[in-house]
Structure 1
Amino acid sequence: MNLKLVPASAEHLPFARDLTRSGMLRYYCQYDLLWLDEAFDQAWDWREQWLVTAGEQHLGFCSLSQDSRALYIRELHIVQDARGRGIGSWVLQELDTWAVRRRLPLLRLTVFKSNPARALYLRKGFVEQGEEECFVRMQRTSY
């Protein structure tokens, strides 16, 4: 599989929003949170948006931001049919490389406590840094 991260544009917003909503809505319901398309759309403008592709096929997307110390993975979603094939692990490795290139010592993310992706992040070297009501903050040193 020839995976790439390519810049997402405004035309990819509906794909990214729908993918995020479909993957996260169960957690929003579980923790009695309100999903707002408008909030997702507003964040689109100030974050870096990247599509996960294999050829012409869109397999997922990730949304990033950064400060002087860390690259923040704000969203990372893989389409249902492509899950379990190592694509999420590949994206995490690519983002680690990006953090190193940007001279950022940390990768950070927040995940719902009950999200199975939490186990993936732990396997990939992320360490839990703290919890809130329904979230776990995680980070790892970039290599």
Structure 2
Amino acid sequence: MTFQLRLARSEDLPFARALTCQNMLRYYIHYELLWQDDAFDVAWPGRQNWLIVQGDVRVGFLSLSRDLRALYIRELQIAEAFQGRGAGSWAIDQVIDLARTERRPALRLTVFENNPARNLYERKGLQVQGADECFLRMQLDISTHVL
């Protein structure tokens, strides 16, 4: 069975918040950052949020924003049971296609410097553009050929 994207609804917020906290809390603890449910909830309506599903099963979610310079992945979270099964790679491919369709010059994201997802992003062609404290800023120029 293949993955699909479904626009998230307000009732999907608790799933997305819990998944993000579950996946990211170790990084927040490592870097002595404070996880705040309220901050996640405030950001949710200002972004385009998509569930990644396989049939009726919620595999993860994507959160996107845009400006004239780029399409931004604000969150890409995959449930632990589905990690390493191609869902993240598939989701990035969908976002790259969307950036091309929208004629965005670049795809950008920020990742904790010690997050193994960085390897996936690099395989997809994103390159480190800079660093801030514990984060790496990565970018794919959309004219770049993607594997």
Query: How does the TM-score come out when normalised to structure 1?
Result: 0.98
Query: How does the TM-score come out when normalised to structure 2?
Result: 0.95
For residue 19 of structure 1, what is the aligned residue in structure 2?
19
For residue 90 of structure 1, what is the aligned residue in structure 2?
90
For residue 72 of structure 1, what is the aligned residue in structure 2?
72
Residue identity over aligned pairs, in percent, reads: 54
Structure 1 stretches lacking a partner, 5+ long? none
For residue 81 of structure 2, what is the aligned residue in structure 1?
81
Deviation at 1:141, TM superposition (A): 1.7
Deviation at 1:130, TM superposition (A): 0.3
2:49 counterpart of 1:63: no
Q: Which amino acid aligns with 1:37?
A: D
For residue 124 of structure 1, what is the aligned residue in structure 2?
124
The 3-state SS of whatever aligns with 1:26 is helix
Q: Distance in 1 between matches of 2:20 and 2:119?
A: 19
User: Is the 1:60–1:77 contact (alpha carbons within 8 Å) kept by the matching residues of 2?
Assistant: yes
For residue 51 of structure 1, what is the aligned residue in structure 2?
51
RMSD: 0.7
For residue 34 of structure 2, what is the aligned residue in structure 1?
34
Please give the per-residue CA displacement for 1:58-109, whole angstroms capped at 9, x wherever unaligned. Answer: 0000100000121100000000000101110100000001001111021100
User: Is the 1:97–1:142 contact (alpha carbons within 8 Å) kept by the matching residues of 2?
Assistant: no
Q: Which amino acid aligns with 2:2?
A: N
Aligned residues: 143
